[in-house]
Amino acid sequence: MIDQNTFIAEYADRRRVLLLVLLGAMATVIGKAVDLQVMETDALQRKAERQYVSAVSMAAYRGNIVDRHGEPLAISAPVYSVWVDPQRFVTTGRQRRALARLLDIPAKRLDKLTPGKSGRRFVYVRRRISPSLQKQVMALKLPGVAFKREYKRYYPTGEVSAQLVGFTNVDDIGLEGIELAFQNTLNGTPGRKKVIRNGKRQVVADFERADDPIPGQDVQLSIDQRFQYIAYRELKAAFIKQQARAASLVMLDARNGDILAMVNQPSFNPNTIRGQSQGRFRNRAITDVFEPGSTMKPFTVACALEQGNLDLDTIIDTSPGTFRVGRNTVRDMRNYGALDVAHILQKSSNVGISKLALSLSPESFLGCYQRLGFGQPVGIGFPGEALGRLPSYDKLRAFEQATLSFGYGLSASALQLAQAYTALANEGEMLRVRLIKDEYIEPAVRVMSADTARTVRQMLEGVVSSEGTAPRATVRGFRVSGKTGTVKKIGEGGYSNDRHLAIFAGIAPASRPRIVMVVIVDEPGGSEYYGGLVAAPVFSRVTSSVLRLLGVQPDREQSMPLVRVTADGSI
C-alpha cells in the first residue's frame, strides 16, 4: 500500500516538472515571438512582399502620327495581353478548351502550360486582345490566368499612307516607315508599380507606384491627308488599269518644299500585315531608283541657257532623226527636222537635246546636275533612302554625255526628281524637301537664274499642249508645265523593248506654281506605255482636285509671252 505522503510528494514533483515544461514552452514561444516581431521584422516583411507583392511594368502610350492638319495617321488604343503562370494553371481539359476557343489559339498550346509540364512562371498566350474579350476571359475565373494592360497601334487611313507611316511589331517597336525612323521620339518610357496579389496570384490592390509611364511624343508630317487620299485613289486606278508592276507619286508644295502626298502601288493594310509580301512595305518613291529619261531634258536646256550657249532663236537641225556620236547612234521617234529649243522639249527630241548637251563641257554639264541634287541624298531621314547615281565628269565620254541629256546613265528616286523640279517652279531656287512639319526649313539653294527657270517653265507648257507629248496632262482652267519620260528598263541583255517606265513630272499652275508632282508607272502592261499616255493623266486628275481644294484661281486666261534670253543672260 502506497504511503499517502509519498504519493503527494511524487504528484508535487510531477506538477513542478510539468510546470517547468510549460513555462519553458511559453518562454520559447515568447522568445520566438519577440524574435519575429522585433529582430526579424525586416526580413519577414521582405519575404511576405515576395509572396504577395510584385512589381509590374506599366505600358507607356506611344505618340501619335498626324498629318499637317492634325488628322490621325497612327494612334494607340488600350488593350490587354493574356498570360499564364504554368505553376498555378491547374485546369481541366474542358476549361483549357474553353479558353483556347475564346483566344482563338490551339488547345494543345495550353496543355503544355500546366504544372509539371513547364517550369516557367510567365508565358504570354495571346497578345493585345480587346477589353470586351478580356472580360470574357476573366469570367472563366481560371487559376494562373492574368492580364497585362498594353496598347495596340491602329492606322485609320489603312492602305492610303501605309508605306509612308509604316507599322510596329507586337511590342510597339517601329519596323517600317515613320514608325521606324522616329522610334525614339514616338516611343514612351514604361512605368513601374508594386501590386498586392492574393493567394491565386490575382492583383487585388496597388501597393506602391514607383515611376509613372512617360508617353511618347507626337510626330506631325507635312502631308495633307486629303491630298494623300486623292493621289492614292488615282494612282491605284491607273495601276490596275495598266496592269502595272508598281507605281509611285510624289507631290511637293512649290513654295516651301513640303511633301504634301507620297503614295505607292501596290500597297498593304498596316492593321493586318500577316501574310503580306514584304516587297509591298517599302516606300518606292524614296527607296527605289530609276533612269529618269526625258524628264531630264529641261535641265539640259536650263544648263545651256545658263552657260550662254544658246537663246530662244537658236535652231538645231535634228534631221534625219538620227545622230552619230562616235560608234553609237542617238535616235528620235521620227525626223523632226529643224527645231528651236522650245520645240526640242515639246517634241522630246533626243537628237536635238544631245547636240545641245555636247555644246557644253563635261564639267559644266555635270555640275548643273549635281547642283540639282542628283547623286546626293535628299536627307529627310527616311529609312532606306536611295542615293541615286551620277557619273564623274573625268570618265564621261561624248556618247555618255549625250545619253545623260535625255536621262540615261544616271539614276534617281521619284523624290529626288521632284526636288529638282522645284528649281523650275521656284524661280531658280531649289527647295529642300521636308516631311516633318515642325522641322526647320532649310534655305533654298539657287541653282539657276530666275529668268532661266521662268523661260524653261514656259517652254514646258508646250509639252502639255495639243502638239506636245502630254496633252492628257492638261488641267481645265489652269496652265500646266511638265515633261514626259518613257524609259526602257535595263535587264541582263541590255535595254528591253517591252519593259518600260512611264514618267511625268509637272508643275501647276504654270504662272504661279503651287504644286510639283512626279508620277511613275513601272512596266505598264497594256499597249499604252508612254509617259504622256499613262502617267500624265494621273497628274491631271490629281492636280485638278488638289488645286480646287487649295482654292487656287484659274490662270488659263492669263497671257505670258516667252521670255527671250540672249547669249549674255540678259532679257
CB 190 within 8 A of CB 224: no
What is the spatial distance between Cα 376 and Cα 367, in angstroms, rounded to a whole number? Answer: 13
Spatial CA neighbour of 483 closest among 497, 495, 493, 469: 469
Cell numbers linked to 5:
505522503
What is the spatial distance between Cα 274 and Cα 277, in angstroms, rounded to a whole number? Answer: 9
3-state DSSP assignment of residue 417: helix
What is the spatial distance between Cα 331 and Cα 495, in angstroms, rounded to a whole number? Answer: 14
The active-site residue out of 76, 81, 161, 294 is: 294
Sign of CA dihedral 218, 221, 223, 224: positive
Alpha carbon dihedral 440, 445, 450, 453, in 10-degree steps, equals -100
Cell numbers linked to 91:
485546369
Bridge partner list, 472:
none
Residue indicated by cell numbers 531649289: 430
Cell numbers linked to 165:
507611316
E-strand spans in 69-171? 72-84, 123-129, 145-154
Query: Helix/strand/coil (H, E, C) string of 181-210?
Result: HCHHHHCCECEEEEEEECCCCCEEEEEEEE
Tell me the residue type at 96. R
CB 451 within 8 A of CB 427: no
What is the greatest pairwise CA distance in the chain?
156
DSSP calls for 481-520: EEEEEEEEEEETTEEEEEEEEEEEEEEESSSS--EEEEEE
CB 295 within 8 A of CB 539: no
In the sheet with 481-491, reading across from the earlier edge strand, the strands are: 259-265, 246-253, 515-522, 494-508, 481-491
Spatial CA neighbour of 483 closest among 497, 502, 509: 502
Give yes or no: 294 in active site: yes
CB 186 within 8 A of CB 62: yes
- State which H helix or E strand residue 368 sits in: helix 362-371
In the sheet with 53-58, reading across from the earlier edge strand, the strands are: 53-58, 191-197, 203-211
CB 469 within 8 A of CB 347: yes
Catalytically active residues, by annotation: 294
